[in-house]
Amino acid sequence: MHIHILGICGTFMGGLAVLARQAGHTVTGCDANVYPPMSAQLEAQGIRLIEGFDAEQVSLEPDLFVIGNVVSRGNPLMEEILNRNLPYTSGPQWLGEHVLSKKWVLAVAGTHGKTTTTSMLTWILEDAGYHPGFLVGGVPMNFGISARLTDSDFFVIEADEYDTAFFDKRSKFVHYHPRTAILNNLEFDHADIFPDLAAIETQFHHLVRTVPGQGRVIVNGREAALERVLARGCWSEVERFGVADGWHVAQANDALAPGQEAFWAHHGPVAAGEVKWSLQGEHNRMNALAALAAARHVGVPPEQGAAALGKFQNVKRRMEVRGEVAGVTVYDDFAHHPTAIQTTLAGLRRRAGTARILAVLEPRSNTMKLGVMKSQLPASLADADLVFGYGAPSGKDALGWNLAEALAPLGARAQAFSDIDGLVRAVSAAAQPGDQIVVMSNGGFGGIHQKLLDTLAARA
């Protein structure tokens, strides 16, 4: 089959393209911006890329056009596809029908921690010899790639609640039909497509409806929103984590060598295994519990899973150290929702102790750009000693609200910028030996990480 993918350079659609190519299909694709590293990864797989969405691409005559959710009505190529009545489908539907349909699918859903938990679970299965296929919305450092197709019966997927396509407004994850589903947490997000939390709960209810009776739903037992989801109907086995009668943490010890932590995972009253690793924070312990529970469902003993987590290397852009110059460490993190920002900074505070934390933030997600959560920013940044915020002055990433006003409750600790170079100069001037600089954004942030390192090096 020849498929032509519209919106191929996004994380999900790029991963789908790799899976399709590994399955033996001919794959071509297009996007508004075709540039490394995604373009290089796709071209290395033998995938031809076209920049732009010109209507003439119908002359490629693929068997099927696969449409990413970045595409909307008015797109020249999409309009030509519709006018000619050519066959098309969404990315999630194609994946469900052509890759996942004969697999035991383990899906990880939730507002936060999807990428990390999916990566943990995939690594546990890999270490146990299951050699699973996977599709992750990031790059697990144990694998160095975000997608892989294997002959294993098992496939692990990050299950996103964002909508499928302009013609299918259901969440992507309803197409995956998991036998094992993790519901990691649930709060309001994606304000550009969901009016309120109840609307997202409905989508999670639809996901639960697709899990077979012999399947298992692994649920964060601390989340009232997820309890409401289950109360609407659940026909599968349920295991909870984060509560005493389910999977929980005992004897956590984060006072080991710098950057090291250990904890015992328990399943009810039974000690399931000790995890010794380099990750920090309760959120990662919760992610680990969910991954251990899901792995147990497919036959991996929890003790073996705990040992595997000791070799887990985390995910790129999750508190990834980008460099250290003159005693100043620069981290890259994907946090962009106030809850994730608070969690990231709290974890770093436990690791850094009394060292100063300089938080550099770009609130560029669709939800943050709408300003729905701007009032939550000051509290989420409480663990930072200094805060440097950036709001793009124009273009698709421009904020529709005043960042300086939103950060004003932090007083002199916070500054707002509309110029990245000015931001870099201010952060570099403020930095002192021993400082921890954490850059938080769900985008490239104009290459600020390297700019900071270069400026700090020039000053040293």
User: pLDDT tens digit string along 20-63?
Assistant: 999 999 999 999 987 667 777 888 889 999 999 999 999 999 99
Is the pLDDT score of 259 beyond 70? no
CATH fold for domain 100-310? UDP-N-acetylmuramoyl-L-alanine:D-glutamate ligase (3.40.1190)
Cis peptide upstream of residue 269 (ω within 30 degrees of 0): no
The reported pTM is: 0.81
- Chain segment 152-172, per-residue pLDDT in tens: 999 999 999 989 999 999 999
Which residue numbers belong to the known binding site?
A: 110-116
Q: Token digits for 409? A: 């409750």
Confidence of residue 251 (pLDDT cuts 50, 70, 90): confident
> CATH assignment of 320-459, given 3.90.190.20, 3.30.360.10, 3.30.565.10, 3.30.750.24?
3.90.190.20
Q: In this structure, is the dihedral angle defined by the CA atoms of residues 154, 155, 160 and 164, taken in order, positive or negative?
A: negative
Q: Which H or E run contains 390?
A: strand 386-390
Query: How far is Cα 298 from Cα 288, in angstroms, rounded to an integer?
Result: 16
- Write the single-letter amino acid at 158: E
User: Where does the chain hold its CATH 3.90.190.20 domain(s)?
Assistant: 320-459
- Known binding-site residue numbers for ATP: 110-116
Flag whether pLDDT at 348 surpasses 90.
no
CA 118/CA 171 separation, integer angstroms: 18
Q: Between these two residues, 158 and 257, which has the higher pLDDT value? A: 158
**Which of 104-113, 254-263, 379-388, 440-449 has the least mean pLDDT?**
254-263
Helix (H) or strand (E) holding 359: strand 357-361
- Strands lying side by side in the sheet with 64-67: 48-51, 26-31, 2-6, 64-67, 88-90
Average pLDDT over residues 367-392: 87
- Compute the mean pLDDT over every residue in the chain, rounded to the nearest whole number: 91
Distance of CA 128 to the CA centre of its chain: 24
Q: DSSP state, 433? A: T
Confidence class for position 71, pLDDT limits 50, 70, 90: very high
Residue 324's CB is within 10 A of a number of other CB atoms, namely 12
CATH superfamily of 2-90: NAD(P)-binding Rossmann-like Domain (3.40.50.720)
According to CATH, where is 3.40.1190.10 located in the chain? 100-310
DSSP-derived pairing of the beta strands 2-6 and 26-31: parallel
Distance CA 223, CA 183 (A): 10
How does DSSP assign 153-171, residue by residue?
A: SEEEEE---SEEETTEEEE
Give the pLDDT confidence score for residue 19 in this predicted structure: 96
